[in-house]
Structure 1
């Protein structure tokens, strides 16, 4: 069982207050022992926003902040927003809307600039960026890398983490080196949808048992996530909101107390500077 003093953090999921389950998904998470969430804004076009400049992303970010505030009212701990631009937007801009890769880069970098404003004023915890996980031409790849490195520049200036959506890989040391060149620490780069092993960034491990066993055995910093998408057309995708608490219980039953503390106390403090134990005290909402 998960005791009342064990923080349980889902490091990457999406909550849609208007189009699907919204706060009901948070309540499912909390009922099974979940205490903390990092809520990432949905891709802008999923919320009906076809961005032409940076300011077009602001309603997406504001909606995410609103649902995070509601989630914090439900949780024994709290939730934090992670804001940014999904790397898949570049294909939508170039292939569907006729922008050049450089024009798309400018729009996406401007969106990152707006997201960084929210981190700077304390309304968001971290940034989101990355590059396509599918094959693209060289111009789109180069533009995507430039967007990601732009996010690292903000991460260095703001001393905040950057969550990445990238291709599947267990070796991203070069990407972490780019972040370091921009003033970040390697551990502040977080690869979302990671396997149990990763060189370079901190892995945010999809909460499947085989991946978690590898991460626990490795003993390096890691986080746990579901990438729950809160999509009415895919109600259980990617993993449901109950998954992380269930996997924490499973890890504890297997004697992996150290791995649970690593993923839910030590690594969140290392990467984001958040204290998941202290914030279990509902009288304190401090980072």
Structure 2
């Protein structure tokens, strides 16, 4: 059982959250770095993102010691950073764009070395000025190009939508298969790229009915001030058991074996400790 997108934080439950996941039947994790400002990092250069990425890589290594399978890192720059850089720090739109691209470049270097299976990027899920929207899309396109060069996937944080065919076209233009672009926080039905479905029963029912590749996630935040946000680490295993009870064995195989292999190149069977 793979949770496709969650966060870990030593200031939160950290590895105890992983143990909760395992006790519920979970086996594999994709751990996405927290937004840089959550770790008190206010970057001035691309290199300033490196401690954020290294913190995630360290937590992934610790999680893999606990899991019956293993964990993998997803590294990148949260799209909401553009608003913090412009509104809070007074950067020009072009300066914010370039700084975020530089952070993506560092994530790409790590991914190219085998230290991440996906790049994190996206665009704001809230209303922004047209210039900020355009700059955010430029960052997103850059992430697609970096991922293609590193031969890894991309996880996107975007507005709520069921149609990302334009993004799929951007990926194709940059040499990245659209199936290797994942929309984090999907509601179950999506055209263009691969949905990572929030593990609510109604969303999962839509994903199963579509019969298309999908992943399952919680977006667990691991924030001591917001325990259980967005969903707790036990959720994916519980929802998998519910799907199996409903007779959806093929959908579970698709979400936890076939799609992870196709999107990320990871083998959730071969990496499972069967002792």
Band of TM-score, shorter chain: over 0.9
Matches within 5 A, 1:60-209: 60-209=52-201
For residues 6 and 103 of structure 2, the distance between their equivalents in structure 1, rounded to whole angstroms, comes to 20
For residues 228 and 281 of structure 1, the distance between their equivalents in structure 2, rounded to whole angstroms, comes to 24
| DSSP-derived class of the 1:191 partner | strand
For residues 73 and 282 of structure 1, the distance between their equivalents in structure 2, rounded to whole angstroms, comes to 14
User: Which residue of structure 1 lines up, in the alignment, with residue 272 of structure 2?
Assistant: 280
Matched residues, number: 275
User: Would the aligned equivalents of 2:79 and 2:124 in 1 still touch at CA under 8 Å?
Assistant: yes
Q: TM-score, normalised by structure 1?
A: 0.95
Matches within 5 A, 1:25-64: 25-64=17-56
Q: TM-score, normalised by structure 2?
A: 0.99
Two-structure CA RMSD over aligned residues (Å)? 0.9
**Structure 1: runs of 5 or more not aligned:** 1-7
User: Would the aligned equivalents of 1:77 and 1:282 in 2 still touch at CA under 8 Å?
Assistant: no
User: Which residue of structure 2 lines up, in the alignment, with residue 4 of structure 1?
Assistant: none
User: Would the aligned equivalents of 1:155 and 1:183 in 2 still touch at CA under 8 Å?
Assistant: no
For residues 148 and 50 of structure 2, the distance between their equivalents in structure 1, rounded to whole angstroms, comes to 22
**Structure 2: runs of 5 or more not aligned:** none
| DSSP-derived class of the 2:197 partner | strand
| DSSP-derived class of the 2:196 partner | strand
1:256 and 2:256 equivalent?
Answer: no
